[in-house]
Amino acid sequence: MRLPRSLSLFVSAAALVSAQISGNVAKLDYGTFTGLVSDDSSITYFRGIRYAEPPTGDLRFRAPISPPQTDLGSVNATEVNVPYNTTAEDALPVLVWIHGGGFQGGSPSSDPPDYLIHSSAKPLIFVSLQYRLGLFGFLAGQAVNEDGDFNAGLLDQRAAMRWVKEYIGEFGGNSSDITIFGESAGGASIYYQLIANNGDNEDLYVRAIADMHERVQETVLAEVAAEVCGHNCGGQPAVLARYPATSYIFGPCLDGTFVASRIVDAFRTATWRRCRFSSGLGWSSQLAAPWANTSMANATEATVYGFLKGQYPGLTRASFARALVRYPLAAYEGASEESSALVLQGQAMYGEARYICPAVMAGVYGREVWQYRYDNPASGSGHGSELAAIYRAEPDIPLWAIMRDFWTSFATEGRPQAKGAPGVDASVARVMFWHTFSASFSADSLSSQSNRYSRNTRMLLNPGMVVQENISGDLQRRCAFWRSLKDEMEA
C-alpha cells in the first residue's frame, strides 16, 4: 500500500460572516487566516484551517497535537463557514458537522452548508471537521497499544471540537452554544463523543444530533491481522478473510480510556445525559441489498444468517435462532410484490439492529431526547437519504424545509420547532413543536406507570404528514433484544 505523503487535519467554518471579522481575517495565536467572502451566497467561508500538527512521521497512529505548535503565518483559509456581516461580538450559535463514510471514507466537502445557513431563522456558524479515516484513524493491535494511540480518528474529532471551543469566538461564534452533529459514521461518532472519557464532555458542546447512527462493531481486522486485537479489541485475533462480507474494516475500538465501555453499557449510565440530544433513524424495509444474497432463488434463512454474520462476525447461530422468533418469516410473506419474504426479513433485522435501535436506545435511557422517523416513499428513505433535506435539496420540498427548521432551531434555540406543515402555506401555519416524551406526556396518567419503554415517542417525517407518533412496544422489545447481544455484536 502506498501511504499518502502528507495528511492534514482541518476544520472549516461558514456563516452569513462578513468582512467585519476585521475584513474576513481571523487572527489566531498560531496564524492569521483569511476567509473567502462570497457575495453570491452572502457567506464567508474559512476553509482548511489546520487545527493540529500533520499526523505524519512519528505522529502517525498517535493522538493529534493541537493546536499546531508552529506559527502558520498568513493562510488563505477558504473553510469555517460564517454568515455574512457577522462580527466577533455577535456570538452566534455554532453547529459542528462530523461527516459519515463508515470510518473509511467521506469528506465534508460534499456537504455544503449554504442551504442550512440560509434556512436558519436565526443565524448560525457552521463548522465541519476532518479526521483520520480507515487504517490511519483506527488501526488497533499490540504494536499500537505499545507505541501509539487507539482511535486516533475519534481523538482528531475531539481535538477539532476543542479547537472550536477555543477559537470560534474569533469567528463570531458563541463558544458556550455549540451543537455537534453527525450522520452515519458521523452519527456513531456523536455517540462515541457523548460517552468518551466516561461522559466528561469538557463543556465542548451543549447539544448533539446523531442522524442514522450506525452501530459499528469495534473489531479491527485486516492484512495486519496478526497484530490486531491485542488490546481488548473484540477478543481473539481473527482474519478478515474469514468474514468476506464485513463492510467495515476499521472502526472505533474499546481502548480503556477514551472509549472505556461499550456504547450500550455507557448509555445506561447517567454521565452522558446532561446534553440535549436528537437522534434519528430511517430505514426502508423495502430497500434492496443485493449483496445480502437474500434475493437469490436458492436463499434460505441460513442466507440471512450469513449476511448478518458478515456484518457482525460474533453473532452466534443460537442468537440468530432467537432473532428468528422475533422476526418470523411468515410475517413477511406477501408483504411486497418486489421483494421476497427473506429479503424483507433480513432487511428488518439489519435495519433495526444497526440503524433504528440506537435511536430507540437513546430514548429509553436519555433525559431529553428527540427522535424522528424519516419516511419518504417518493424519493426513498434509505440510509443517508435524509441528508437531502439538510445539504442538497434540489428541488426542495416542504418536508425538507420543515426538517431544516427543526435542525437549525435545535441548534439556535435548544429545542426543535418548525413553521409550516405539509400542504399548508408557511405564512399561515402555526409553529409546530417536536416533543420529547416527558414534555408531551408528563401530564398524562401514563407517566405514573413509570414504564420506561412508554417514554419513547418520535416525530414522523413524511411528505404528507409530520406528526408525533408512538414507538410500538414490539419495536422496543426487539431493540432490547439486540441490546442484549451487545457483546456478540460488539456494540
Ligand X SMILES: *[C@@H]1O[C@H](CO)[C@@H](O)[C@H](O)[C@H]1NC(C)=O
Cα–Cα distance list, 9 to 6, 214, 422 (Å): 10, 24, 41
Segment interacting with ligand X, rule: CB under 6 A, options 55-63, 173-181, 184-192, 272-280: 173-181
Segment interacting with ligand X, rule: CB under 6 A, options 172-180, 266-274, 325-333, 392-400: 172-180
Tell me how many residues contact ligand X (CB under 6 A). Answer: 22
Site string for ligand X, 4-23 (x = CB under 6 A): --------------x-----
Burial class for 372, CB neighbours closer than 10 Å (0-12, 13-18, 19+): buried
Is residue 469 involved in binding ligand X (CB under 6 A)? yes
* Phi, psi values for residue 82, rounded to 5°: -120, 135
Segment interacting with ligand X, rule: CB under 6 A, options 174-182, 208-216, 268-276, 405-413: 174-182
Task: Select the residue interacting with ligand X from 23, 71, 76, 202 (CB under 6 A).
Answer: 76
Task: Select the residue interacting with ligand X from 79, 170, 177, 352 (CB under 6 A).
Answer: 177
Site for ligand X in 30-59 (CB under 6 A): 42
Between 61 and 434, whose beta carbon lies closer to ligand X? 434
Contact 24/35 with Cβ under 8 angstroms? yes
Which grid cell is 54?
Answer: 500533520
Task: Select the residue interacting with ligand X from 134, 148, 237, 306 (CB under 6 A).
Answer: 306
410: which residues sit within 8 A by CB, 6+ positions away? 179, 207, 209, 276, 278, 370, 416
Is residue 295 involved in binding ligand X (CB under 6 A)? no
Between 199 and 310, whose beta carbon lies closer to ligand X? 310
Is residue 211 involved in binding ligand X (CB under 6 A)? no
Is residue 460 involved in binding ligand X (CB under 6 A)? no
Task: Select the residue interacting with ligand X from 174, 284, 295, 385 (CB under 6 A).
Answer: 174
Is residue 255 involved in binding ligand X (CB under 6 A)? no
- What is the chain's alpha carbon radius of gyration, rounded to the nearest angstrom? 23
Between 176 and 442, whose beta carbon lies closer to ligand X? 176
Is residue 310 involved in binding ligand X (CB under 6 A)? yes
Task: Select the residue interacting with ligand X from 6, 57, 58, 244 (CB under 6 A).
Answer: 244
* Phi-psi map region of 93: left, alpha, beta (phi>0 left; psi -120 to 50 alpha): beta
Is residue 245 involved in binding ligand X (CB under 6 A)? yes
Site string for ligand X, 332-351 (x = CB under 6 A): --------------------
Is residue 85 involved in binding ligand X (CB under 6 A)? yes
* Phi-psi map region of 458: left, alpha, beta (phi>0 left; psi -120 to 50 alpha): beta
Tell me which residue of 128, 130, 137 sits closest to 104, measured CA to CA.
Answer: 137
Is residue 91 involved in binding ligand X (CB under 6 A)? yes
Residues that bind ligand X (CB under 6 A): 18, 42, 74, 76, 84-85, 91, 174, 176-177, 244-245, 292-293, 296, 298, 306-307, 310, 446, 469-470
